[in-house]
Homo-oligomer: A and B are copies of this chain.
Amino acid sequence: MKRCFGHLLIALIAISVLSLAGPSLAADDKQDPLPSWNPGAAKQAILDFLRATTDKQGLKYVPPEQRIATFDQDGTLWVEHPMYTQIVFCLERVPTLVKEKTELKDEEPFKTVLTGDKEAIAKLSIDNLVKILVATHSGMTIDEFEAEVNRWLAKARHPRWNKPYTELAYQPMLEVLRAFRAAGYKTFIVTGGGQDFVRVYAEAIYGVPPEQVVGTMAATTYGYAKDGRPTLTKDAKLLHNDNFAGKPEGIHLLIGRRPFAAFGNSTGDQQMLEYTQAGSGARLMMLVHHDDAVREYAYGPDTHIGTFSDALMDEARSRSWTVISMKNDWRRVFAFEK
């Protein structure tokens, strides 16, 4: 399979072996589909929702074709600190890009990136990050882009764990994805990240096929290579920014149905959770709170850094969204932990 590459394949096999070795993840009432979760309100909320919406006799039953669940990626399914993975990929491409398009070297945000000033780079706005994302991803065919991402993922390592980014998916959330699918839900990733970037590895890591990845979208242009073979080339034209209000808009654009469950971790996911909750019947809205400086990172309303604002925590409380405490709710964070 084209989308697979050596490393991801190994990761996938490792995950499969773990699921065989550990407690079964089947959505069988007798067995625990969420073994990496500690007992508590968060775990219970997931189990109750899945039971209620698949119980044909119950009032909260959801017909199979309507079972849609959406998951933010960065900070919800995998590590987003100290920087979004895709931004690391993009930033490393900026010098090459500026060599090709010299006029960019005096333009922001490229100018800031070229200074190498980590603090300044870390402060770039989401709009500026999207600008970098679109610029560094354009001008190549979709096949070249996919190959480039695969090459990069195979060699890139997270600075803290010195592990491939693809191993930094949260084990408890991989179990949630599987439990939802076992209950007949279609699981979609709804990410502020580039749709084409996430699609490269989403199937191998998360079991989410490309057609179920919604993200920030750039246009492509259909044309013909020198040998007459049809090609799709990535443009520098942004079609859709899948953050904040863009998330429900992106969900409508690609899915066309309102989700019954939505998972996020930041203000960028707020509107997706509001939109989910506004539907009738059972709805599940959950936010991952990064409060575990030992096993991962601590940031959020209590630390006043990051994008889990006080206002978001207030909204979560007032709307009865369930906040997942990484520290208390997750027995294990990564698959590679013993």
A contacts, CB < 8 Å to B: 1, 63, 65-66, 68, 142, 186, 195-196, 199, 203, 209-213, 217, 219-223, 229-230, 232, 239-240, 245-246, 248-249, 252-257, 271, 274-275, 278
Inter-chain contacts of A66 with B (CB < 8 A): 1
- For the complex formed, measure the closest distance between the CB of A135 and the CB atoms of chain B, giving whole angstroms: 19
New contact pairs (8) apart from A222-B275, A232-B249, CB-CB < 8 Å: A210-B256, A211-B211, A211-B257, A213-B256, A230-B271, A230-B275, A239-B239, A239-B253
Q: Are B257 and A65 in contact (CB under 8 A)?
A: no
Q: Are A256 and B211 in contact (CB under 8 A)?
A: yes
Give bound CA distance, A230 to B155, whole Å.
Answer: 43
Inter-chain contacts of A213 with B (CB < 8 A): 256
Q: Are A252 and B220 in contact (CB under 8 A)?
A: yes
Interface centre among A199, A223, A232, A256 (most CB of B within 10 A): A256
Q: Are B249 and A203 in contact (CB under 8 A)?
A: no
Q: Are B271 and A248 in contact (CB under 8 A)?
A: no
Give bound CA distance, A291 to B277, whole Å.
Answer: 51
Inter-chain contacts of A196 with B (CB < 8 A): 256
Interface centre among A209, A230, A245 (most CB of B within 10 A): A230
Q: Are A195 and B256 in contact (CB under 8 A)?
A: yes
Inter-chain contacts of A240 with B (CB < 8 A): 219, 239
Give bound CA distance, A195 to B256, whole Å.
Answer: 9
- For the complex formed, measure the closest distance between the CB of A69 and the CB atoms of chain B, giving whole angstroms: 12
Give bound CA distance, A209 to B63, whole Å.
Answer: 13
Inter-chain contacts of A257 with B (CB < 8 A): 209-211
Closest residue on chain B to residue A225 by CB atoms: B278
Partner of A222, one of B68, B142, B203, B248: B248
Known A254-B254, A256-B195, A271-B222; judge A248-B232 contact (CB<8 A): yes
Q: Are B199 and A211 in contact (CB under 8 A)?
A: no
Partner of A65, one of B142, B195, B209: B209
A-B pairs, 9 with minimum CB distance: A210-B256, A222-B245, A211-B255, A230-B278, A199-B256, A230-B275, A230-B274, A222-B248, A220-B249
Inter-chain contacts of A211 with B (CB < 8 A): 68, 186, 211-212, 254-257
Inter-chain contacts of A210 with B (CB < 8 A): 255-257
Closest residue on chain B to residue A198 by CB atoms: B256
